[in-house]
Amino acid sequence: MTNDDAKMSKKKPENSCKFCDFKCFGRSNMSTHKLLCKPKNDDKMMTNDDAEKNVQEMSDDKLFSCECGKHYKYRQGLFVHKKKCLYEENMEKNEGAEDDLYNEKQIILTLLQQNNQLQNQIIELCKEKTITNINNTNSINSHNKSFNLNFFLNETCKDAMNIMDFVDSIKLQLSDLEKVGEIGYVDGISNIITSNLKALDITQRPIHCTDKKRDVLYVKDQNKWEKEDDEKNKLRKAIKRVACKNQRLIPKFKEAHPDCIKAASRFSDQYNKMIIESMGGSGDNDLEKEDKIIKKISKEVLINKNLEIE
């Protein structure tokens, strides 16, 4: 052994392999060894610098990442994780809940649109149709010696209200609307008209009946008394106008009870019934319903012919 060899043997090797027991002098020897060293775990072949570099690359690239935020170096690790990860399942549930909420909002919007359409229909019904006024001059004669109908109407009742002025004077309350919903269109509208007629003095009333069996009626319109013809157009027009005034109270009821459009509200059934009955209810057609109202009015404005009128 030379002196140089002795010195080398005493000197501690400069390089050692971290994956096996190999030690050597000089970097070239270690480089040659690394090419031949093949440990079972490929990860062990990396130097500290290589490991740090790969960790940095993995952090930057995130090649195998789960939507929950976890990252894996190998695809197999991500595959195993996804079998256990509940993130996607929870996301699907959340998306389903959002869909349900959206559907509920759509239902509410649809109900509101339908309610607005119903309100528009009510307004349309309130528009008066043009009714041709038939002015027939009738001679009012009475063979009843104790009662002169012509005198009664043109003298005793000369200051009576015109039929449409009477209708315009009617002031309706929410209680009238609620009553129509409760007892129905025919009875409800009849009560409104007859109660306001009864509130007037007999000489101020715009309607008088001389024969309730045949519904013979005399109506004051445009400052003159006329016998209603078989169609009874003047009285029918008055009935329609009163019904329209009643319908206009529906928005006020809604203002007083804003939750009435909700099915769970205790006012829901009442609100729906009021709308139906205010628009005429079910059953008979409009003419038949008006005939019934006219019958009820005739009973309340029947003239007492036993009155002694000079």
Query: Mind listing the pLDDT tens digit for each residue in 225-265?
Result: 999 999 999 999 999 999 999 999 999 999 999 998 888 88
Mark whether 46 and 161 lie in a shared domain: no
Categorize the per-residue pLDDT at 223 as very low, low, confident or very high, splitting at 50, 70 and 90. Answer: very high
Cα 263 to Cα 65, 224, 257: the distances in Å are 49, 51, 13
24: left (phi over 0), alpha (psi -120 to 50) or beta: beta
* Residue 267 lies inside a defined structural domain of this protein: yes
Q: Pick from 280, 205, 299: which is nearest to 242 by CA?
A: 280
* SS3 (DSSP) at 72: strand
The domain boundary, picked from 66, 83, 108, lies at: 66
* Residue 95 lies inside a defined structural domain of this protein: no
Q: Do the beta carbons of residue 29 and residue 16 sit within 8 Å?
A: no
Long-range contact pairs involving 285-290 (C-beta distance under 8 Å, separation at least 24):
289/185, 289/186, 290/236, 290/239
Please state, in angstroms and rounded to a whole number, the distance separating the CA atoms of residues 238 and 221. Answer: 11
Mark whether 26 and 168 lie in a shared domain: no
pLDDT over threshold 50, residue 45: no
Mark whether 187 and 288 lie in a shared domain: yes
Tokens 């079998």 found at: 83
pLDDT of residue 90: 66
Instruction: Give residue 104's Cα distance to chain centre.
Output: 11
* Residue 37 lies inside a defined structural domain of this protein: yes
Mark whether 159 and 289 lie in a shared domain: yes
* Residue 139 lies inside a defined structural domain of this protein: no
Mark whether 180 and 61 lie in a shared domain: no
What integer is the mean pLDDT of 103-107?
A: 80
The domain boundary, picked from 66, 91, 106, lies at: 66
Categorize the per-residue pLDDT at 185 as very low, low, confident or very high, splitting at 50, 70 and 90. Answer: very high
Mark whether 286 and 155 lie in a shared domain: yes
Q: Which residues contact 170 (CB under 8 A, 6 or more apart)?
A: 192, 193, 196, 242, 245
- For helices 233-247 and 286-300, the axis angle rounded to 10 degrees is 100
Given strand 207-211, what is the order of strands in its sheet?
A: 207-211, 216-221, 224-227
* Residue 157 lies inside a defined structural domain of this protein: yes
Q: Could you tell me the pTM of the whole model?
A: 0.52
Mark whether 295 and 192 lie in a shared domain: yes
303: left (phi over 0), alpha (psi -120 to 50) or beta: beta
More confident residue, 275 or 308: 275
Q: Do the beta carbons of residue 153 and residue 218 sit within 8 Å?
A: yes
* Residue 201 lies inside a defined structural domain of this protein: yes
Q: Pick from 304, 297, 303: which is nearest to 194 by CA?
A: 297
pLDDT tens-digit readout, 134-176: 444 344 443 444 578 999 999 999 999 999 999 999 999 999 9
Task: Please count the structural domains in the chain.
Answer: 2
* Residue 61 lies inside a defined structural domain of this protein: yes
Question: Which uninterrupted H or E stretch holds 3?
Answer: helix 3-10
The domain boundary, picked from 45, 66, 87, lies at: 66
Question: Which uninterrupted H or E stretch holds 288?
Answer: helix 286-300
* Residue 165 lies inside a defined structural domain of this protein: yes
For residue 237, the enclosing domain spans 147-300
Cα 161 to Cα 150, 164, 206: the distances in Å are 17, 8, 5
Mark whether 265 and 171 lie in a shared domain: yes
Instruction: Give residue 82's Cα distance to chain centre.
Output: 45
pLDDT tens-digit readout, 199-216: 999 999 999 999 888 889
